Amino acid sequence: MAVEFAELEQFLEAYRERMNPAERRKASRKLGQEIRKLNAQRIARNVEPDGSPMQPRKPRMADGGRRIRAQRMFRKLRLAKSFKVMASEDGVSVGFIGNVGQTARAHHYGQTDFVGRTLDGKSVRARYPRRRLLGFGPDDLELINEAAMNLLDP
pLDDT in tens, 76-126: 888 888 899 999 888 889 999 888 899 999 999 999 999 889 899 999 999
Does the pLDDT of residue 14 top 90, yes or no? no
Q: Helices 140-152 and 21-44 meet at what angle, rounded to 10?
A: 150
The pTM of the full predicted model, rounded to 2 decimals, is 0.78
Task: Please report the pLDDT score of residue 85 as a whole number.
Answer: 93
Comparing 128 with 152, which gets the higher pLDDT?
128
The per-residue pLDDT for range 37-79, each reduced to its tens digit, is: 999 999 999 999 988 999 888 877 777 777 777 777 888 888 8
